Amino acid sequence: MFEMQSEVKLVVFDWDGTVMDSVGRIVSSMQAAARLTDLAVPSAFAVKQIIGLSLDPAFDQLFPFATAGQRAQLFEHYREQYVQLDPTPSPLFNGAEQLLQQLANNNILLAVATGKARKGLDRMFADTGLAPYFVTSRCADEARSKPDPDMLSQILKQLALTPEQAIMVGDTSHDMKMAQAIAMPRVGVTHGAHSAEVLRQFAPKAIIDSLPELTLHLN
């Protein structure tokens, strides 16, 4: 049985690129949406930079000259591609469910802070069966977009915890900036969208290459 002594009461996970290996699907779906809307197709690197943001600020970065009509088309095409048409696999990362189970068994609260809309996260919860592990979550349509710390502030308020009692785990600079803004300890994961070099700029407590390594950094 995994046991540990920890001052950490709460671990907040990003979803895409942290718990689920969905970066490739996001990239190909966004590129297809641009193609279908007759807009310049962004590079894979460019799309990776916006993963974790809500769609409005993501579109601002990727398609700054798109009209309101084109943005509406982009949204519909992207959602259709990601949910129904894109065949790119998006499995959980190795060890993800085992880690969640270990943490929950040790009475550590778990939450999600994601750039997905509520409908999208609920669909992922249903598909993966992971919903029971999480005591709460915040989505793009319930709070200000990352890197604003609004999602984390809402979660902490709901659970009556301070930033020092929690850790944010994410794969992007947006996750790191969000936690840094309220002095919440943070751990960067390298198997998602942004490199260790990028994550290191935001003074994480640790940078890990796989989710099971997180247990080494919770005391």
Region at 161 (left for phi over 0; alpha for psi -120 to 50; beta for the rest): beta
What is the distance of C-alpha 139 from the center of its chain?
A: 10
165-212: per-residue pLDDT in tens? 999 999 999 999 999 999 999 999 999 999 999 999 999 999 999 999
Together in a domain, 95 and 202: yes
Residue 133, in any domain of the structure: yes
Residue 98, in any domain of the structure: yes
In the chain, how many domains are there?
2
**Domain CATH code at residue 64:** 1.10.150
Together in a domain, 108 and 38: no
The H helix count followed by the E strand count for the chain is: 9, 6
Together in a domain, 16 and 43: no
Residue 198, in any domain of the structure: yes
State the residue range of the domain holding 66. 23-85
Give the model's confidence band at 4: pLDDT under 50 very low, under 70 low, under 90 confident, else very high.
low
Together in a domain, 150 and 205: yes
Residue 1 has pLDDT above 50, yes or no: no
Give residue 136's identity as a one-letter amino acid code.
Answer: T
108-141: per-residue pLDDT in tens? 999 999 999 999 999 999 999 999 999 999 999 9
Give residue 166's identity as a one-letter amino acid code.
Answer: A
Find the radius of gyration of the CA atoms of the chain: 17
- Confidence (pLDDT) at 2: 46
Residue 5, in any domain of the structure: no
Together in a domain, 34 and 111: no
**Domain CATH code at residue 153:** 3.40.50.1000
